[in-house]
Chain A
Amino acid sequence: MKIHVDVVSAEGQIWTGSAATVYAPAQMGEIGILPRHAPLLTRLKPGNLRIETENGDQENVFVSGGLLEVQPHLVTIMADIAERADELDESEAQKAKERAEEAVSAAEDQIDLARAQAELAEAAARLDMLQKIRSRH
């Protein structure tokens, strides 16, 4: 049993292939999708998308939000921005987080605050994912 997985962003295709299990950071909490899952439509929050292929390999893709559609044999991830996990630069993430944190403390109006909080959540998720990947090696 396998599911076909498409990970796409507006600027390009990120990953496509068949998988045994997909773990995605859904808005209501992380979900794992096995073949023959019921049709599901949900929003994603920033985090790590993990794809386990049939021979046990793992693919990690960072998504900073987007949509997830599940059909019994089909998973489509429409990511807002998706990059390959290996390409993620930890220091960049750290910097972005610092910038976001500064912005939170300096934020004045509601819009800036909301934007800063979103950036902070994203940066934190990036860091978290990198640390997880690192500890696995």
Chain B
Amino acid sequence: MAGAKEVKGKIKSVQNTQKITKAMEMVAASKMRRAQERVDAARPYAQKIRRTIGHLANANLSYGHPFLEEREVKRVGLIVVSSDRGLCGGLNINLFRRVLTEMRAWKDKGVEVEITVVGRKGLSFFRRLIEIRAETVDLGDKPRLADLIGAAKVMMDDYRNGDIDRLFLMSNEFVNTMTQKPEMQQLLPVEQGPAEELPDYWDYIYEPEPEGLLDDILVRYVESQVYQGVVENVACEMAARMVAMKSASDNAGDIIDDLQLEYNKQRQAAITQELSEIVAGAAAVS
């Protein structure tokens, strides 16, 4: 029965693995729902800020702001959002591949690229390829805006100093539970939507001075976009993990079935052999 015992041990170990993947699947499912709620919760702020920027653009804007001006592109900045943990299928690698494609495209045009990374996976991937300008890791399942401000500020300062001429956010878009799509979104210069039709010439009363206020609004807008990208990426991570763990559990089930069949065969072979030995022994005696 030596073979059968070995197989039994294997079955046990696969069953243990299956228990873990099943638990991870369920945890990811519940975390995904909460992450989606956070994505929805973050939406109004971005909308309201966008509306205010629209109003501002409509008002008599006699002063410009670097965040609103297109300039010639010599160097671009990327903020790449990744997850802290693995076991979430091809989520991170799909995004990284998209980032590399974009980077190559920029390089072909003679444009330099600098990169800021959110999340541990992105850090370990890009560390080998390119110098990383700034990083923020260990955000957990509930990212806080406060943790992102630093990384976003580094890139915004670079933009202000003219070190980069464009800033993009690369993160996963949550299409549905089965599908997450790598997305590239332009953060700077801020793309303005179609202007609302407002009848008369008007301007805000600014308290205190308009320049600082406009700056505040634009900085907050960029931060909120980064925050939204990160929160959405968490939802993607959970969805991808749920799907990955579900297929892992299914595969474990298949392996257990095969092993069980193997175990039955071995057991039957052992019984048959024992029987034939007994019969042969009895025949020899009589």
Assess whether A41 is in contact with B206, with CB atoms less than 8 Å apart: yes
Assess whether A10 is in contact with B59, with CB atoms less than 8 Å apart: no
Assess whether B41 is in contact with A12, with CB atoms less than 8 Å apart: yes
Assess whether B48 is in contact with A71, with CB atoms less than 8 Å apart: no
A108 at the interface (CB under 8 A from B): no
Within 8 A of A (CB), among B35-78: 38, 41-42, 44-45, 48-49, 51-52, 55-56, 59
Measured between beta carbons, the chain B residues less than 8 angstroms from A40 are 204-207
Q: In the bound complex, what is the Cα–Cα distance between A8 and B205 (angstroms)?
A: 22
Within 8 A of B (CB), among A30-49: 38-43
In this complex, what residue of B is CB-closest to A6?
Answer: B48
Measured between beta carbons, the chain A residues less than 8 angstroms from B205 are 38-41
Within 8 A of A (CB), among B197-223: 202-208, 210, 212-213, 216-217, 220, 223
Q: In the bound complex, what is the Cα–Cα distance between A26 and B205 (angstroms)?
A: 13
Q: In the bound complex, what is the Cα–Cα distance between A38 and B203 (angstroms)?
A: 9
Contact mask A45-81 → B, CB, 8 Å, 1/0? 0000000000000000000000101010000101000
Q: In the bound complex, what is the Cα–Cα distance between A27 and B216 (angstroms)?
A: 13
In this complex, what residue of A is CB-closest to B221?
Answer: A78
B85 at the interface (CB under 8 A from A): no
Assess whether A41 is in contact with B213, with CB atoms less than 8 Å apart: yes
Assess whether B145 is in contact with A11, with CB atoms less than 8 Å apart: yes
Q: In the bound complex, what is the Cα–Cα distance between A7 and B39 (angstroms)?
A: 17
Q: A10-B223, A12-B41, A13-B41 are in contact. Are A78 and B48 (CB under 8 A)?
A: yes
B227 at the interface (CB under 8 A from A): yes
Q: In the complex, what's the smallest C-beta–C-beta distance from A27 to chain B, in angstroms? A: 6
Assess whether A42 is in contact with B206, with CB atoms less than 8 Å apart: yes
Assess whether B207 is in contact with A8, with CB atoms less than 8 Å apart: no
A28 at the interface (CB under 8 A from B): yes
Assess whether B224 is in contact with A39, with CB atoms less than 8 Å apart: no
Q: In the bound complex, what is the Cα–Cα distance between A67 and B51 (angstroms)?
A: 13
Within 8 A of B (CB), among A8-32: 8-13, 16, 26-28
- Name the one of A12, A13, A42 contacting B213, with C-beta atoms under 8 angstroms: A42
Assess whether B204 is in contact with A10, with CB atoms less than 8 Å apart: no
Assess whether A39 is in contact with B207, with CB atoms less than 8 Å apart: no
Assess whether B202 is in contact with A28, with CB atoms less than 8 Å apart: no
In this complex, what residue of B is CB-closest to A71?
Answer: B55
Assess whether B48 is in contact with A8, with CB atoms less than 8 Å apart: yes
Assess whether A41 is in contact with B44, with CB atoms less than 8 Å apart: no
- Name the one of B45, B48, B49, B207 contacting A41, with C-beta atoms under 8 angstroms: B207
- Name the one of B42, B51, B208, B223 contacting A12, with C-beta atoms under 8 angstroms: B42
Q: In the bound complex, what is the Cα–Cα distance between A8 and B44 (angstroms)?
A: 7
Assess whether A78 is in contact with B220, with CB atoms less than 8 Å apart: yes
- Name the one of A13, A26, A39, A76 contacting B51, with C-beta atoms under 8 angstroms: A76
Contact mask B259-283 → A, CB, 8 Å, 1/0? 0000000000000000000000000
Assess whether B204 is in contact with A41, with CB atoms less than 8 Å apart: yes
Q: Which of A27, A40, A78 has the most CB of B within 10 A?
A: A78
- Name the one of A10, A26, A67 contacting B216, with C-beta atoms under 8 angstroms: A67
In this complex, what residue of B is CB-closest to A39?
Answer: B204
Contact mask B127-145 → A, CB, 8 Å, 1/0? 0000000000000000011
Measured between beta carbons, the chain A residues less than 8 angstroms from B224 are 10
Q: A10-B223, A27-B208, A78-B49 are in contact. Are A39 and B202 (CB under 8 A)?
A: yes
Question: B residues touching A (Cβ–Cβ < 8 Å)?
Answer: 38, 41-42, 44-45, 48-49, 51-52, 55-56, 59, 144-145, 202-208, 210, 212-213, 216-217, 220, 223-224, 227
Can you list 12 pairs linking A and B with CB atoms under 8 Å apart? A8-B44, A8-B45, A8-B48, A10-B42, A10-B145, A10-B227, A11-B144, A12-B42, A12-B45, A16-B44, A41-B206, A78-B52
